[in-house]
Amino acid sequence: MSAVADDQWFTNHTTGAPAQLRQQVVTYFDATPAGMLSDRLAVAGDAALQAATAAGRTRAAAIDLLAADALITLALLATAERSPATLASAAAELRQRAAVAA
């Protein structure tokens, strides 16, 4: 898919989220380099999880943790829609990456 189609997919799947959460998700997503949508979402999710972990057990960590959850969920959704045969391996990779980030 094209970058424009990926951006539209991302917009379609984040519209309607609470404003603060959506802004945080957009911030992480926009900070990723160009590439496959599922990879960009995974990288953004990793960054959000790392930020949440760095914030520790503070209230500030909550929005980053929610953003990480949303971005990783979107990465799995994009994979399921575009390459369902690779979903299991993609999920395993995301789990491994999250373990390293935490």
DSSP secondary structure letters along the chain: --HHHHHHHHHHHHTTS-HHHHHHHHHHHHTSPSS-HHHHHHHHHHHHHHHHHHH-SSTHHHHHHHHHHHHHHHHHHHHHHH-GGGHHHHHHHHHHHHHHH-
How many domains does the chain contain in total? Answer: 1
- Name the band, by pLDDT with cuts 50, 70 and 90, for residue 102: low
Q: Which residue has the tokens 């945080």?
A: 24
Instruction: For Cα atoms 90, 14, 80, give the angle at the middle one, nearest 5 degrees.
Output: 25
The pTM of this model reads: 0.89
Q: What pLDDT digit, counting tens, does each position of 47-96 carry?
A: 999 999 999 988 889 999 999 999 999 999 999 999 999 999 988 988 88
Q: How far is CA 23 from the centre of its chain?
A: 13
Angle, vertex CA 82, rays to CA 78 and CA 88, nearest 5: 75
Structural domain boundaries enclosing 88: 3-101
Q: Do the beta carbons of residue 45 and residue 77 sit within 8 Å?
A: no
